Chains A and B, each alone.
Chain A
Amino acid sequence: MAAGSGFTAAADASITRTLVGVTSGAYTTPSTNGMYAACYSTQFTAAAKSGATEWATASDGSYARQQMGVSTAFGWSIAAYVNSTGVVWSNSNTITVPAVTLNNQTLFALGWVDVVTLGSGNINFFFDLTTSVSVNIGSSVVLSGSTGAVFTTY
Protein backbone atom coordinates (compact mmCIF):
# COMPACT_ATOMS: atom_id res chain seq x y z
CA MET A 1 0.00 0.00 0.00
CA ALA A 2 1.07 3.54 -0.62
CA ALA A 3 2.67 5.27 2.31
CA GLY A 4 0.88 8.34 3.57
CA SER A 5 1.32 11.15 6.08
CA GLY A 6 -0.50 14.08 7.65
CA PHE A 7 -3.73 14.32 9.58
CA THR A 8 -5.65 11.13 10.16
CA ALA A 9 -9.10 10.83 8.63
CA ALA A 10 -10.62 11.37 12.07
CA ALA A 11 -8.64 14.58 12.54
CA ASP A 12 -9.71 15.83 9.09
CA ALA A 13 -13.32 15.48 10.17
CA SER A 14 -13.02 16.86 13.69
CA ILE A 15 -10.91 19.87 12.69
CA THR A 16 -13.33 20.74 9.91
CA ARG A 17 -16.26 20.58 12.31
CA THR A 18 -14.38 22.82 14.73
CA LEU A 19 -13.58 25.38 12.02
CA VAL A 20 -17.22 25.79 11.09
CA GLY A 21 -18.40 25.84 14.69
CA VAL A 22 -20.11 22.47 14.92
CA THR A 23 -19.66 21.17 18.44
CA SER A 24 -20.75 17.59 17.83
CA GLY A 25 -17.71 15.63 16.73
CA ALA A 26 -15.49 18.70 17.04
CA TYR A 27 -11.75 18.50 17.64
CA THR A 28 -10.72 17.87 21.21
CA THR A 29 -7.66 19.84 22.28
CA PRO A 30 -5.10 17.50 23.86
CA SER A 31 -4.95 17.51 27.62
CA THR A 32 -2.40 19.38 29.69
CA ASN A 33 0.29 16.92 28.61
CA GLY A 34 0.09 17.51 24.85
CA MET A 35 0.63 14.75 22.32
CA TYR A 36 2.39 11.38 22.59
CA ALA A 37 4.45 9.60 19.92
CA ALA A 38 3.33 6.05 19.20
CA CYS A 39 4.79 3.19 17.14
CA TYR A 40 2.75 1.14 14.66
CA SER A 41 3.47 -2.20 13.01
CA THR A 42 1.26 -1.43 9.99
CA GLN A 43 0.77 1.62 7.79
CA PHE A 44 -2.07 4.10 8.03
CA THR A 45 -1.93 4.35 4.18
CA ALA A 46 -2.36 7.41 2.00
CA ALA A 47 -6.02 6.82 1.26
CA ALA A 48 -7.72 5.65 4.43
CA LYS A 49 -5.44 7.49 6.86
CA SER A 50 -6.59 5.21 9.67
CA GLY A 51 -6.47 1.66 10.94
CA ALA A 52 -2.81 1.15 11.83
CA THR A 53 -1.91 -1.35 14.54
CA GLU A 54 -0.03 0.07 17.51
CA TRP A 55 2.65 -1.85 19.36
CA ALA A 56 1.40 -3.52 22.54
CA THR A 57 2.94 -4.36 25.90
CA ALA A 58 1.91 -8.00 25.47
CA SER A 59 4.52 -8.22 22.70
CA ASP A 60 6.97 -5.52 23.84
CA GLY A 61 6.88 -5.32 27.61
CA SER A 62 8.61 -1.93 27.67
CA TYR A 63 6.48 -0.23 25.07
CA ALA A 64 4.89 3.09 26.03
CA ARG A 65 3.74 6.16 24.16
CA GLN A 66 6.29 8.94 24.54
CA GLN A 67 5.39 12.44 25.61
CA MET A 68 6.72 15.03 23.18
CA GLY A 69 7.40 17.73 25.76
CA VAL A 70 6.11 19.59 28.76
CA SER A 71 6.78 23.20 27.82
CA THR A 72 4.11 25.57 26.56
CA ALA A 73 4.44 24.24 23.00
CA PHE A 74 4.53 20.66 24.29
CA GLY A 75 7.71 19.73 22.45
CA TRP A 76 6.93 21.26 19.08
CA SER A 77 8.66 24.10 17.26
CA ILE A 78 5.99 25.85 15.21
CA ALA A 79 7.12 28.33 12.57
CA ALA A 80 5.05 31.25 11.33
CA TYR A 81 3.04 30.80 8.15
CA VAL A 82 5.07 31.33 4.99
CA ASN A 83 3.56 31.89 1.54
CA SER A 84 3.56 28.77 -0.63
CA THR A 85 4.97 26.74 2.24
CA GLY A 86 2.46 26.83 5.06
CA VAL A 87 3.04 26.28 8.76
CA VAL A 88 5.97 23.99 9.54
CA TRP A 89 6.16 22.21 12.88
CA SER A 90 8.78 19.78 14.11
CA ASN A 91 9.79 18.02 17.31
CA SER A 92 11.88 20.15 19.66
CA ASN A 93 13.24 17.28 21.72
CA THR A 94 14.80 13.91 21.01
CA ILE A 95 12.19 11.22 21.55
CA THR A 96 13.37 7.75 22.59
CA VAL A 97 11.02 4.80 22.76
CA PRO A 98 12.25 2.35 25.46
CA ALA A 99 14.34 -0.55 24.18
CA VAL A 100 12.24 -3.48 22.98
CA THR A 101 11.76 -6.44 25.31
CA LEU A 102 10.01 -9.85 24.96
CA ASN A 103 9.70 -9.98 21.14
CA ASN A 104 11.27 -8.28 18.13
CA GLN A 105 9.03 -5.55 16.73
CA THR A 106 8.20 -4.16 13.29
CA LEU A 107 7.94 -0.41 12.76
CA PHE A 108 5.89 0.71 9.75
CA ALA A 109 4.46 4.08 10.91
CA LEU A 110 4.62 6.71 13.63
CA GLY A 111 1.50 8.35 14.98
CA TRP A 112 0.67 11.02 17.54
CA VAL A 113 -2.06 10.38 20.08
CA ASP A 114 -3.65 12.74 22.60
CA VAL A 115 -3.44 10.45 25.64
CA VAL A 116 -0.74 8.21 27.10
CA THR A 117 -2.95 5.19 27.79
CA LEU A 118 -2.58 2.44 25.20
CA GLY A 119 -5.79 1.64 23.38
CA SER A 120 -7.25 5.05 24.17
CA GLY A 121 -7.34 8.52 22.68
CA ASN A 122 -7.40 10.14 19.26
CA ILE A 123 -4.63 9.68 16.71
CA ASN A 124 -4.30 13.12 15.14
CA PHE A 125 -1.43 12.85 12.67
CA PHE A 126 1.05 10.29 11.41
CA PHE A 127 3.61 9.31 8.83
CA ASP A 128 4.16 5.92 7.23
CA LEU A 129 7.46 4.40 6.21
CA THR A 130 7.93 3.00 2.72
CA THR A 131 9.07 -0.34 4.04
CA SER A 132 8.87 -1.72 7.54
CA VAL A 133 11.86 -1.61 9.87
CA SER A 134 12.85 -4.38 12.28
CA VAL A 135 13.40 -3.25 15.84
CA ASN A 136 14.87 -6.17 17.73
CA ILE A 137 15.03 -6.85 21.44
CA GLY A 138 17.44 -4.42 23.09
CA SER A 139 17.00 -1.71 20.45
CA SER A 140 15.22 1.63 20.68
CA VAL A 141 13.42 3.81 18.17
CA VAL A 142 14.82 7.34 18.35
CA LEU A 143 13.48 10.53 16.79
CA SER A 144 16.19 13.19 16.86
CA GLY A 145 15.22 16.74 17.69
CA SER A 146 14.07 18.86 14.70
CA THR A 147 14.25 16.02 12.16
CA GLY A 148 12.48 13.13 13.87
CA ALA A 149 9.03 14.46 13.07
CA VAL A 150 8.43 17.32 10.65
CA PHE A 151 4.97 18.34 9.46
CA THR A 152 3.50 21.07 7.31
CA THR A 153 -0.05 22.35 7.40
CA TYR A 154 -0.86 24.25 4.22
Chain B
Amino acid sequence: MDVEITNEPPPPPRAAPSRIRCKGGGEIQVIEEATGKVLQTVQSPDFLEVNERRLRTEPKY
Protein backbone atom coordinates (compact mmCIF):
# COMPACT_ATOMS: atom_id res chain seq x y z
CA MET B 1 0.00 0.00 0.00
CA ASP B 2 1.37 3.36 -1.02
CA VAL B 3 1.56 6.08 1.59
CA GLU B 4 1.44 9.65 0.43
CA ILE B 5 3.76 11.92 2.35
CA THR B 6 3.05 15.59 2.19
CA ASN B 7 4.74 18.61 3.69
CA GLU B 8 1.65 20.29 4.97
CA PRO B 9 2.33 22.58 7.90
CA PRO B 10 1.13 21.37 11.27
CA PRO B 11 -2.24 22.67 12.37
CA PRO B 12 -2.17 25.83 14.46
CA PRO B 13 -2.24 25.30 18.20
CA ARG B 14 -5.69 25.23 19.67
CA ALA B 15 -6.71 28.22 21.68
CA ALA B 16 -6.46 27.74 25.40
CA PRO B 17 -9.85 26.97 26.88
CA SER B 18 -11.57 29.85 28.59
CA ARG B 19 -11.81 29.43 32.34
CA ILE B 20 -12.71 31.39 35.40
CA ARG B 21 -9.59 32.75 36.94
CA CYS B 22 -9.31 34.72 40.14
CA LYS B 23 -6.25 36.05 41.87
CA GLY B 24 -6.06 38.04 45.06
CA GLY B 25 -3.86 39.44 47.74
CA GLY B 26 -3.65 41.97 50.47
CA GLU B 27 -1.56 44.01 52.82
CA ILE B 28 -2.09 42.98 56.41
CA GLN B 29 -1.11 44.84 59.52
CA VAL B 30 -0.69 43.43 63.00
CA ILE B 31 -1.46 46.21 65.45
CA GLU B 32 -1.01 46.28 69.21
CA GLU B 33 -4.44 47.23 70.47
CA ALA B 34 -3.35 49.06 73.64
CA THR B 35 -0.93 51.42 71.91
CA GLY B 36 -2.07 51.39 68.30
CA LYS B 37 1.49 50.56 67.30
CA VAL B 38 1.90 48.73 64.00
CA LEU B 39 3.96 45.69 64.89
CA GLN B 40 4.18 44.17 61.44
CA THR B 41 3.02 44.82 57.89
CA VAL B 42 2.88 41.86 55.54
CA GLN B 43 2.00 41.64 51.86
CA SER B 44 0.76 38.42 50.33
CA PRO B 45 2.67 37.12 47.27
CA ASP B 46 0.21 38.38 44.66
CA PHE B 47 -0.51 41.71 46.34
CA LEU B 48 1.70 43.92 44.17
CA GLU B 49 0.21 42.53 40.96
CA VAL B 50 -3.44 42.79 41.99
CA ASN B 51 -2.98 46.19 43.60
CA GLU B 52 -1.38 47.48 40.42
CA ARG B 53 -4.48 46.25 38.59
CA ARG B 54 -6.65 48.04 41.15
CA LEU B 55 -4.79 51.31 40.66
CA ARG B 56 -5.06 50.92 36.89
CA THR B 57 -8.82 50.42 36.91
CA GLU B 58 -10.07 52.63 39.71
CA PRO B 59 -12.03 55.68 38.60
CA LYS B 60 -10.02 58.87 38.15
CA TYR B 61 -11.52 62.11 39.46
> What is the interface of chain A, defined by CB distance below 8 A to chain B?
3, 5-7, 12, 15-16, 77, 79-80, 82, 85-86, 88, 90-91, 96, 99, 107, 110, 125-130, 133-135, 138-144, 146-154
A149 CA to B32 CA, complexed, in Å: 21
- Of B20, B31, B57, B58, the residue contacting A15 (CB under 8 A) is B20
Given contacts A130-B45, A154-B21, contact A149 B33 (CB under 8 A): no
Given contacts A142-B28, A148-B28, 18 further A-B contacts (CB under 8 A): A5-B44, A6-B24, A12-B20, A16-B20, A79-B58, A82-B57, A88-B53, A96-B31, A125-B24, A138-B33, A139-B39, A144-B29, A146-B54, A150-B24, A150-B53, A150-B54, A152-B50, A152-B53
A86 partner residues in chain B, CB cutoff 8 A: 21, 53
Q: B30 near A140 (CB under 8 angstroms)?
A: yes
Q: A138 near B34 (CB under 8 angstroms)?
A: yes
For the complex, would chain B's binding face be called helix, strand, loop or mixed by DSSP majority? mixed
A115 CA to B43 CA, complexed, in Å: 26
Q: B53 near A127 (CB under 8 angstroms)?
A: no
B33 partner residues in chain A, CB cutoff 8 A: 99, 138-140
Q: A7 near B30 (CB under 8 angstroms)?
A: no
> What is the interface of chain B, defined by CB distance below 8 A to chain A?
20-34, 39-40, 42, 44-47, 50-51, 53-54, 56-59
A134 partner residues in chain B, CB cutoff 8 A: 30
- Of B23, B32, B42, B58, the residue contacting A6 (CB under 8 A) is B23
- Of B22, B26, B34, B58, the residue contacting A152 (CB under 8 A) is B22
Q: A128 near B44 (CB under 8 angstroms)?
A: yes
A128 partner residues in chain B, CB cutoff 8 A: 44-45
Q: B28 near A90 (CB under 8 angstroms)?
A: no
Given contacts A147-B51, A148-B26, contact A7 B39 (CB under 8 A): no
A121 CA to B31 CA, complexed, in Å: 28
